[in-house]
Amino acid sequence: MLQPRNNGAAVQQQTTYKPLTLITPTAAMSPAVHGGRAKCLQRLIRLDMPVPVTVALSFDAVHEAAIGNLPDMDELLAPFGDAPLLSVRPSSQDPDWGGPGAILNVGMNDARYVELINWLGEETATKLYMRFVQSYAIHVARLDPDEFHMPDQADAKGLKAMMATFEYETDMPFPQDVETQLAEVLRSMARAWDGTTARLLRQAKGAPADAGLGLVVQAMASGTGQGECGQGVVQFVDSVTGQPKIIGRYVSSHLAATREIGRETEGAIYLTRDTRGPSLEDLCPDQFAQLISYGDLCRKRLREEMEIKFTLQDGALRILDAVRVQRSSRASVRIAVALAEDQIIPREEAVMRVEPAALSELLHRQVDPQAARDVIVRGIAASPGAASGRIVLTASEAQASAARGEPCVLVRRETTPEDIRGMHAASAVLTMRGGVTSHAAVIGRGLGLPCVVGASDLVIDRKSGRITGADGRSFAVGETITVDGTTGQVLVGEPKMLEAALDGAFQTLLDWADDFRDIGVRANADTPADAQTAANFAAEGIGLCRTEHMFFEGDRLGVMREMIFAEESDDRRAVLDRLLPMQRADFQALFEIMAGKSVCVRLFDPPLHEFLPSDKAGLRDLAEQVALPLPEVTERVHALAEYNPMLGMRGVRLGIALPEIYDMQARAIFEAMVAVGQKGVAISAEIMIPLVSAMREVELIKSRVDAVAHAVRAKSRIDLDYRLGVMVETPRACLRAHDIAEHADFLSFGTNDLTQMTYGLSRDDAGRFMSSYVQQGVYAEDPFHTLDIEGVGELIALGAERGRTSRPDVVLSICGEHGGSRAAIAFCREKGFDYVSCSPFRVPVARLTAAQLALLGQISR
């Protein structure tokens, strides 16, 4: 038995909405029952627009039609009078979910054909009839399209042949009766909606599994008469840029009668006056002006940019349909901002209307969605945007290529710090190994460099200088490929690209977003260039500066290696003295760029092997550099090797075992503060200790850092505003957060390592099996990509709660790669965190996402 609540809802729907509704200003209609198109037609009618007679079929009516229970056909046809010509269009709840194609001229038959010959002439009338038979045969009777080609010349003979084919294939003459035709059209459109492909396509666009389809049956406005007759389509903004522009086509009836008007319709004339040819504005100035006023009315009252389909019927304008203008990401931002600036929608709504991922597209070049894609291999989409270039297999080839001014794609098994210079020189990076938090991915995102990682089907043969893709095709060094870091595809050649577009509308939208957002957004930025990008995107500070990345640049790698090779503390100190001014200059540059904001500097956290060469040539270079015999260098490199470097002598362990390194970094930070302070730049510095697992680690480092601060303060006589905090990225640090927080002003959760350690899953190797894990539903998503709220999230929540017990005002944030994602921002808001930190290019996306979540929170309260 039905429960009362369901029962009530069912009764309400049955009594309120009928299966067939003649669309009038007051008819009971809803997008959830009749679909967006039907509801929009009612709105147009309410705005007094001349819409031809239209009947809407509800989702239920269409569902019944699919299982053979047609609606009352007499009732459906009654409003259209005798011998009507009708169009049938889909009306899904959200227009983006699509639906079967429209069928036009339902009701066309031999008698109507004779009438049309008198009006349109034999050729056009024949073409119209043949097109109807063709579309009925293919889309309604589901016959073989190859049997129903339109001949170049439409004549009575061709029509007869087509009719004969229809009869041969179906054992029935072509139906002449409008009721039969319409019934079959409704049935076929209803069934098409239930097909597997249609279902998968709309589900990919976010439609629920049980999404319904409505249909609208409308009188074809194809009048006869002396006045102008024809069909057109118009929109009032450019779909690519979103700028105001009248775009569309108009086709006089002899051509228009046979098909829907599209962008490329043959025989179309311009809408606005144009030196290149005739225009509707010249032909019918009054109707043109009326059309413009309808466009304006739609924008103001439907609160949207609409594409309007219209006809002229013996000189009278009719509006057939209006749908949301198709738009690029750039246009979606421009349109939302313009509607709010014109006070048609509130700013909150403009902020809600733009999909945050659309901003990410604007920040990078993209492969034109219309371009053909010839895929060589697929991997993980690790850093968005697309770039083309010649294949190079080493960092030095990348640098040489850049020096020649030739864009290149650096293809590596995986990247290491030695590749940094090559990555800077390359247009894009492709690796065989690694996941979304691998070296290539992190650096790629920081640089805004398109990057695909973990392309495990790729074979790289350095000896022959070739790479081979998933299907066995191979490409030589120097051949051009394209890396699409947005989709994870690697493509042959150089498809057409769409340029990045940061315009005023983009900035305005983000400024509005900041007014609504209630959580901070900082950037992970390691170099002055990153910091500048972060500042350009209005990050509220730096949430993570990975200082080891500063040593991958220029001559520093060499000095760093000397430091690693120093056996004695004094030798190490001597090398660190050379590194000190470099670090000081780095921090000074960051502080100046981020003037007035917080900068969180993470002390050194590299697995040391990353700084050591892995091949013979590298070992030889190193031997030369440190002036030691090759065997000695090789032996020392082997001695430094660890079985599992990610769990080895990293982070604070290094700081405790070799304290001079952190001493030097702390000094560099404080001296840089003094230097910028003397220039009048205020900075709030934060020093973060990585990979902590025990409170004593924090105590030891804190006492040394405070001692350095004391020394710098004593010498400079300048007060230093700094805070010391902990990067919480081991499960134990979460569990012991209460005693760790006693010594930490802030706790920043490093979700990359925390995910790695919670799952016991290597960040760098997970790519190998992740797709099969996700495909088989072992994990819902790659946890390095989407924050695992259930597991990792629970540890973070526990850490935050325990941290607050000993220090209620402890500043909380996350700074792993998840930082900019919707799931992580929602989680951090819910737990009352202070900010999220993400790569600079994700900052705009995070600002918009945070604002949308805050606005959604207001709505649901």
- Binding residue ranges for substrate: 546, 602, 729, 750-753
Residue corresponding to tokens 């600079």: 840
DSSP letters spanning 693-720:
-SHHHHHHHHHHHHHHHHHHHHHH----
546 binds, among Mg ion, ligand PEP, none (CB under 5 to 8 A by kind): ligand PEP
CB of 551 to Mg ion, least distance (A): 17
Residues 718-747 that bind Mg ion (CB under 5 A): 729
Return the amino acid letter for 388: S
Q: Are 390 and 378 in contact (CB under 8 A)?
A: no
Show contacts of 111-120: CB within 8 Å, 24+ apart. Answer: 111/83, 111/176, 112/83, 112/85, 116/257, 119/224, 120/253, 120/254, 120/257
CB of 686 to ligand PEP, least distance (A): 14
Q: Which is nearer to ligand PEP, 39 or 439 (CB)?
A: 439
Annotated binding site: 546, 602, 729, 750-753
816 counts as binding ligand PEP under rule CB under 6 A: yes
Q: How far apart are CA 284 and CA 246, in angstroms?
A: 16
764 counts as binding ligand PEP under rule CB under 6 A: no
751 binds, among Mg ion, ligand PEP, none (CB under 5 to 8 A by kind): ligand PEP
Q: Which is nearer to ligand PEP, 506 or 604 (CB)?
A: 604
Q: What is the 3-state secondary structure (H, E, C) of 193-255?
A: HHCHHHHHHHHHCCCCCCCCEEEEEEECCCCCCCCCCEEEEEEEECCCCCCEEEEEEEEEHHH
The first and second tokens of residue 150, run together, are: 């339109």
- Total residues binding ligand PEP (CB under 6 A): 11
Q: Which of 753, 764, 788, 817 binds Mg ion (CB under 5 A)?
A: 753
Annotated binding site for Mg(2+): 729, 753
The first and second tokens of residue 123, run together, are: 């050729």
Binding mask 347-386 for ligand PEP (x = CB under 6 A): ----------------------------------------
DSSP letters spanning 109-150:
-HHHHHHHHHHH-HHHHHHHHHHHHHHIIIIIS---GGGGPP
816 binds, among Mg ion, ligand PEP, none (CB under 5 to 8 A by kind): ligand PEP
DSSP letters spanning 62-99:
HHHHHTT----HHHHHGGG-SS--EEEEEEESSGGG--
Enumerate the H helices of 298-364 as residue ranges: 329-341, 347-353, 356-363
Query: Which of the residues are catalytic?
Result: 439, 815
Q: Which is nearer to ligand PEP, 733 or 850 (CB)?
A: 733
336 binds, among ligand PEP, Mg ion, none (CB under 5 to 8 A by kind): none
Q: How far apart are CA 658 and CA 638, in angstroms?
A: 19
521 counts as binding ligand PEP under rule CB under 6 A: no
Question: What's the full length of the chain, in residues?
Answer: 861
Q: Which is nearer to ligand PEP, 514 or 765 (CB)?
A: 765
CB of 44 to Mg ion, least distance (A): 57
750 counts as binding Mg ion under rule CB under 5 A: yes
- Specify the stretch interacting with ligand PEP by CB under 6 A; choose among 630-638, 673-681, 748-756, 844-852: 748-756
418 counts as binding Mg ion under rule CB under 5 A: no
Q: Which is nearer to ligand PEP, 91 or 533 (CB)?
A: 533
CB of 784 to Mg ion, least distance (A): 12
CB of 742 to ligand PEP, least distance (A): 23
752 counts as binding ligand PEP under rule CB under 6 A: yes
788 counts as binding ligand PEP under rule CB under 6 A: no
Spatial CA neighbour of 668 closest among 656, 682, 685, 652: 685
Q: Please state whether beta strands 811-814 and 684-689 pair in parallel, antiparallel, or not at all (unpaired).
A: unpaired
792 counts as binding ligand PEP under rule CB under 6 A: no
Q: What are phi and psi of 397, to 5 degrees?
A: -65, -35
Q: Which is nearer to Mg ion, 660 or 729 (CB)?
A: 729
438 counts as binding ligand PEP under rule CB under 6 A: no
Q: Are 825 and 519 in contact (CB under 8 A)?
A: yes
Q: Residue 749 pairs with which residues in a beta bridge?
A: 728, 814
Binding residues for ligand PEP, rule: CB under 6 A, are 437, 544, 546, 605, 729, 750-753, 815-816
Binding residues for Mg ion, rule: CB under 5 A, are 729, 750, 753
